[in-house]
């Protein structure tokens, strides 16, 4: 009976699939497609957090900017993410230390922390109401075997000045954190927001500031040189500088194809909880929670009182493609996570499910640099699913760099980006590792389920 219900729930969830994610609607004031030839000081490709922040910062400095966006501003990961504004606490300390050493890891941590401050200043400066809840974030364990990892993360983070507090069972319950999350580390930095409202707020601010935004305008290629000439279906845009803010979609444009890997990440959102369900749940401060699984689960409440659950099952699409299609296996896994962590809410209807793409370098470090003989094609990618703050900040740093001075936070990102294997090895390797991670996580989850049955 239980299995049948689950299948019905999954089938119903699939009916709610949204091609544009759960947070945004297609703008009613869609900006016209580029037709003919235009010129500017800077052409920006992609209108997510990175592209829009770069545009806003450049216009502020009196620079003429053209933004070319394939769909509409916010169509990519910026309009689809889980809405965690996180600083340096979530970085892969071990991997970074091995690759770039302590000093540069500190710079990367500083960069992510500054990303939080920059996004927060955007909310104030552009008067963006994006339901930001500066609650801080909790990285939680769901089984006793994960405690060591939580404590180890706290220790490593402290080496880089990230203060986090260990919350034991008693402290978690005091905060009203749902009981499936046994213990965790709490970082009093950042929080959760509605990413759709944030990115649409940036879009509005950019249009008001005089940024020329062309939507429904896909860049197909460009000619390098002292003036970069960018081609779209019906026109061209020329400028002495270009910023590629196309993130996970960049490899399809022929740049970073051997460095940046698009990974599909998925989300489900439940129907709103009733006042009674909310009262029973507790979770008064609504801290965003991520788990310390190999592939994390993220669990948060929204301002509309729904639960958004993301990640858990991540996959690489063959050939670095980014098809905008549902991922049934991921939604199934997320619905299972809903039942595992919130058994009392497992029959909640699903309001929406969706997927999007993050970009990832094999060392997990940001991929930011300049290409072309003239080094006038700037790119930013590889934020590994931590781009709400960082990809916002990078727009400001690139604008400062174009002004002639390289800010120290940008200089701190320079490193040799490792290459990835060619296909089909890349597909087999990445998805092989992902499957192993899923299996390790499932072993933990099975132990949790077994313990819960034992308790009943």
Ligand X SMILES: Cc1cc2nc3c(=O)[nH]c(=O)nc-3n(C[C@H](O)[C@H](O)[C@H](O)COP(=O)(O)OP(=O)(O)OC[C@H]3O[C@@H](n4cnc5c(N)ncnc54)[C@H](O)[C@@H]3O)c2cc1C
Dist. CA 214–CA 415, nearest whole Å = 33
5 phi/psi in degrees, rounded to 5: -60, -45
Q: Which is nearer to ligand X, 181 or 222 (CB)?
A: 222
341: left (phi > 0), else alpha (psi -120 to 50), else beta? alpha
- Residue 47 found at the interface with ligand X (CB under 6 A): yes
Those residues with Cβ within 8 angstroms of residue 97's Cβ, 6 or more apart along the chain or in another chain: 105
Give residues 259-288 in contact with ligand X (rule: CB under 6 A). Answer: 265, 267
**Helix (H) / strand (E) containing 220:** strand 219-223
CA 374/CA 322 separation, integer angstroms: 30
Does residue number 245 form part of the binding site for ligand X (CB under 6 A)?
yes
**Can you say how many angstroms the Cα of residue 234 is from the centroid of all Cα atoms in its chain?**
31
**Of the two residues 292 and 448, which places its CB atom closer to ligand X in the complex?**
292
Q: Kindly state whether residue 297 participates in binding ligand X, applying the rule CB under 6 A.
A: no
**Residue 117 to residue 144: CA distance in whole angstroms:** 34
In the complex with ligand X, which residue's Cβ is closer, 298 or 445?
298
Of the listed pieces 81-89, 95-103, 178-186, 432-440, which binds ligand X according to CB under 6 A?
81-89
* H-state helical runs in 342-424: 387-402, 408-411
Q: Which of 24, 34, 80, 287 binds ligand X (CB under 6 A)?
A: 80
Burial state string for 57-91 with b = 16 or more CB within 10 A and e = fewer than 16? bbbeeebebbbbbbbbbbbbbbbbbbbbbbbbbbb
Residue choice 40, 54, 65, 75 for contact with ligand X (CB under 6 A): 75
Does the protein bind ligand X through residue 131 (CB under 6 A)? no
Does residue 239 touch ligand X according to CB under 6 A? no
**What gap in Å lies between CA 91 and CA 100, rounded to an integer?**
13
The SS3 assignment for 346 reads coil
Beta bridge partners of 291: 140
Q: Is 312 in the site for ligand X (CB under 6 A)?
A: no
Residue 384: CB minimum distance to ligand X, A? 8
Q: Binding residue for ligand X (CB under 6 A) from 20, 38, 43, 50? A: 50
Q: Which of 247, 291, 302, 320 binds ligand X (CB under 6 A)?
A: 247
Q: CA–CA distance from 317 to each of 257, 320, 359, 428 (Å)?
A: 13, 6, 12, 10
Residue from 16, 81, 122, 135 that binds ligand X (CB under 6 A)? 81
Q: Is the CB of 143 or the CB of 363 nearer to ligand X?
A: 363
Q: Which residue's CB is nearer to ligand X, number 260 or number 444?
A: 260
Stretch that binds ligand X, among 95-103, 124-132, 274-282, 352-360 (CB under 6 A): 352-360
Residue 196, interface with ligand X (CB under 6 A)?
A: no
Q: Is 387 in the site for ligand X (CB under 6 A)?
A: yes
Angle, helices 93-125 vs 195-208, to 10°: value is 50
Total chain residues near ligand X (CB under 6 A):
41
Shorter beta-carbon distance to ligand X: residue 237 or 273: 237
Nearer to ligand X, 291 or 448 (CB): 291
Residue nearest to ligand X (CB): 387
CA distance 400 to 396: 6
Tokens 């490709």 found at: 45
- Which token pair is 27? 């703008």
Contact 380, 246 (CB under 8 A): no
Residue 317 binds to ligand X (criterion: CB under 6 A):
no
- Options 386, 401, 415, 426; binder of ligand X; rule CB under 6 A: 386
Site string for ligand X, 206-235 (x = CB under 6 A): ------------xx----------------
- Judge contact between 395 and 48, C-beta under 8 A: no
x-marked contacts with ligand X along 141-180 as a string, rule CB under 6 A = ----------------------------------------
Residues lying near ligand X in the complex (CB under 6 A) are found at 45-51, 68-71, 75-78, 80-84, 86, 218-219, 245-249, 253, 265, 267, 310, 356-358, 383, 385-388, 391
């Amino acid at each position: 009976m239980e299995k049948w219900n689950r299948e019905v729930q999954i089938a119903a969830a699939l009916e709610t699939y949204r091609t544009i994610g759960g947070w945004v609607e297609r703008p009613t004031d869609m900006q016209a497609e580029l037709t003919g030839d235009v010129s500017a000081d800077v052409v920006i490709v992609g209108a997510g957090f990175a592209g829009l922040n770069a545009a806003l910062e450049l216009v502020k400095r009196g620079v003429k900017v053209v933004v070319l966006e394939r769909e509409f501003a916010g169509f990519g990961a910026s309009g689809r993410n889980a809405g965690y504004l996180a600083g340096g606490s979530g970085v892969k300390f071990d991997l970074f230390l091995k690759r770039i050493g302590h000093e540069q890891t500190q710079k990367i941590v500083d960069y992510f922390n500054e990303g939080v401050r920059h996004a927060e200043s955007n909310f104030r400066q552009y008067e963006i109401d994006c339901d930001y809840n500066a609650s801080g974030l909790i990285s939680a364990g769901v089984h006793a075997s994960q405690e060591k990892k939580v404590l180890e993360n706290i220790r490593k983070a402290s080496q880089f000045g990230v203060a986090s507090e260990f919350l034991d069972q008693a402290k978690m319950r005091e905060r009203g954190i749902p009981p499936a999350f046994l213990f965790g580390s709490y970082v009093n930095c950042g929080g959760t927001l509605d990413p759709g409202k944030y990115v649409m707020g940036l879009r509005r601010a950019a249009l008001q500031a005089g940024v020329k935004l062309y939507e429904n305008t896909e860049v197909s290629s460009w000619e390098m040189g002292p003036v970069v000439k960018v081609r779209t279906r019906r026109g061209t845009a020329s400028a002495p500088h270009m910023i590629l803010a196309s993130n996970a979609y960049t490899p399809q444009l022929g740049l970073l194809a051997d460095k940046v890997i698009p990974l599909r990440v998925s989300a489900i959102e439940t129907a709103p909880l009733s006042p009674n369900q909310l009262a029973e749940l507790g979770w008064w401060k609504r801290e965003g929670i991520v788990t310390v699984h190999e592939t994390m689960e993220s669990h948060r409440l929204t301002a509309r009182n729904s639960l958004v659950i993301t990640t858990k099952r991540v996959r690489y699409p063959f050939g670095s493609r980014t098809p905008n299609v549902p991922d049934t296996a991921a939604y199934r896994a997320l619905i299972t996570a809903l039942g595992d962590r919130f058994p009392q809410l497992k029959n909640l209807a699903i309001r929406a499910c969706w997927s999007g793409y993050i970009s990832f370098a094999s060392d997990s470090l940001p991929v930011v640099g300049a290409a072309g003989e003239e080094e006038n094609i700037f790119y930013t990618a590889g934020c590994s699913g931590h781009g709400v703050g960082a990809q916002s900040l990078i727009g400001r740093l690139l604008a400062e760099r174009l002004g002639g001075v390289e800010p120290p936070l940008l200089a701190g990102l320079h490193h040799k980006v490792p290459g990835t294997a060619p296909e089909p090895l890349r597909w087999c390797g990445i998805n092989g590792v992902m499957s192993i991670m899923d299996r390790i996580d499932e072993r933990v989850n099975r132990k949790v389920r077994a313990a819960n049955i034992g308790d009943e």
